[in-house]
Chain A
Amino acid sequence: MAAISLQTETMAEEVKLFGTWASVFSRRIEVALKLKGVQFEYIEENLSNKSPALLKYNPLHKKIPVLVHNGKPVAESLVILEYIDETWKHNPILPTDPYEKAMARFWAKYMDDKLLPAAIKVAMSKGEEQKGVIEEIQKQLKTLESELKEKKFFGGESLGFVDIAANTIVWLVVAQEALGMEILTEEKFPVLHGWYQRLVDDAVFKECMPPREQHLSFVKVRFGSSTPSK
């Protein structure tokens, strides 16, 4: 800890991230900061006992993640990602071309507006309802597969904005294992499966993943009672 405070005293800028270890949104910000080699102080929040600092920096939503840069807070993960990309311009995570940027924003929005709510629903439902949600998710995954096509990552040759936003899929894979569901399988989604392997093998991305065993337990505890009988 002493090393960090020394850094913040002597550094030109101060970057803090308020997050939680198992939050898909929080982890996105860690990936972006690490991709750009931005030093930051990380504050783990207890969501059942939010810190005064968090409530001060995000009074409207009272949620993590919040990035505080030189004392100024930014909330909402996709907004934070764009802020990071525009502030630290090396190793860009968004494309430069306006049309490609628009496509990246469209697909990141798709992850949050469609995939994420469905992923939460699937974890909380059971029986016939769960089967229906699984089908819905699989349709979405098919859509994502055709968007990915032959590319290494959604961002092309390297991990980009959409790949970071698509970390939801990694959480989905954890949930399917923890709760005994079959949603994203290699046979049904060979292209996406390949992408997923590349993502979790990526040096930066894997540093930012919640520890697997803990993550599995976390999901089991949170959603476990709705596990369907197989």
Chain B
Amino acid sequence: MAEEVKLFGMWASPFSRRIEVALKLKGIQYEYIEEDLSNKSPSLLKYNPVHKKIPVLLHKGKPVAESLVILEYIDETWKHNPILPADPYERAMARFWAKFLDEKLWPAAKKVALSKGEEHNGLIEEIQEHLKTLESELKEKKFFGGESLGFVDIAADIIFWLLVVQETLGLDILTEDKFPGLHEWYHRLLDDAVFKECVSMERLLASFKVRFGALTASK
């Protein structure tokens, strides 16, 4: 092979899955290494000594860590099928929204998942505020990236994890009546040839039910 691309990841991590989506969108061949996060490989620790986290992309022996940093690296290295817009202002908007997803939506979604069926209320409202924001950003567009799946859509894969958490815990957070735009958007994503190869709701649900099933709130 002309170049060697390896991805150290974990199947149930949205951050890891983002990288798989990007690599597949660009048709890049890569070797995937599934990490056991309770027993991290010496390679992972060598390639990400600072954070010791997945995902890590290894390209020609050089490691890149942090999913959004990796996505930009992929886009700049393999320039076909771009995932970021070309215009600097549009790029800034894409980066802004990806940051919003990671810094606002993801922590709130994680909190709900770990809240063990109690004290949900404030969190649900907080998440719904964020979803409302995303819904108005999406507007009439097919994807956040416009006509096709882009940087923000890939970063927004965390919404699927939110859907899995809400179903597992029996909560109503992202519903079709409250968020018709987002609802259509995620169905479009689930239908996308590349995306559906990378995110399996069934597998996530099965795993989350085992992890959180005992904590299901009584409705």
- Given the known interface contacts A76-B95, A110-B50, the answer about A105 and B72 at a Cβ–Cβ threshold of 8 Å is yes
With a cutoff of 8 Å between Cβ atoms, the chain A residues found around residue B69 in the complex are 102, 105-106, 109
Pairwise interchain contact B100-A98, C-beta atoms closer than 8 A: no
Pairwise interchain contact B62-A72, C-beta atoms closer than 8 A: no
Pairwise interchain contact B88-A83, C-beta atoms closer than 8 A: yes
A74 touches B (CB below 8 Å): yes
- Given the known interface contacts A82-B95, A101-B73, A106-B69, the answer about A72 and B64 at a Cβ–Cβ threshold of 8 Å is no
B66 touches A (CB below 8 Å): yes
Pairwise interchain contact B64-A102, C-beta atoms closer than 8 A: yes
Nearest B residue (CB) for A59: B133
- Given the known interface contacts A60-B100, A76-B99, A109-B66, the answer about A101 and B76 at a Cβ–Cβ threshold of 8 Å is yes
Task: Give CA–CA (A74, B99) in the complex, Å.
Answer: 13
CB distance from B73 to the nearest CB of A (A): 4
Task: Give CA–CA (A204, B67) in the complex, Å.
Answer: 33
Main secondary structure of the interface of B (DSSP, over half): helix
CB distance from A112 to the nearest CB of B (A): 10
Pairwise interchain contact A98-B88, C-beta atoms closer than 8 A: no
A86 touches B (CB below 8 Å): yes
- Given the known interface contacts A60-B133, A101-B76, the answer about A86 and B91 at a Cβ–Cβ threshold of 8 Å is yes
Pairwise interchain contact B65-A87, C-beta atoms closer than 8 A: no
Pairwise interchain contact B66-A143, C-beta atoms closer than 8 A: no
Pairwise interchain contact B64-A99, C-beta atoms closer than 8 A: yes
With a cutoff of 8 Å between Cβ atoms, the chain B residues found around residue A79 in the complex are 92, 95-96, 99
Pairwise interchain contact A82-B73, C-beta atoms closer than 8 A: no
A80 touches B (CB below 8 Å): yes
Task: Give CA–CA (A87, B88) in the complex, Å.
Answer: 6
4 A-B pairs closest in CB distance: A86-B88, A98-B76, A102-B73, A83-B92
Instruction: Give the interface of A toward B (CB within 8 A).
Output: 60, 69, 72, 74-76, 79-80, 82-83, 86-87, 98-99, 101-103, 105-106, 109-110, 143
Listed by A's residue number, 28 A-B pairs whose Cβ atoms lie within 8 Å are: A60-B133, A75-B96, A76-B95, A76-B96, A76-B99, A79-B92, A79-B95, A80-B92, A82-B91, A83-B91, A83-B92, A86-B91, A87-B88, A98-B73, A98-B76, A99-B59, A99-B62, A101-B72, A101-B73, A102-B69, A102-B72, A102-B73, A105-B66, A105-B69, A106-B64, A109-B69, A110-B50, A143-B50
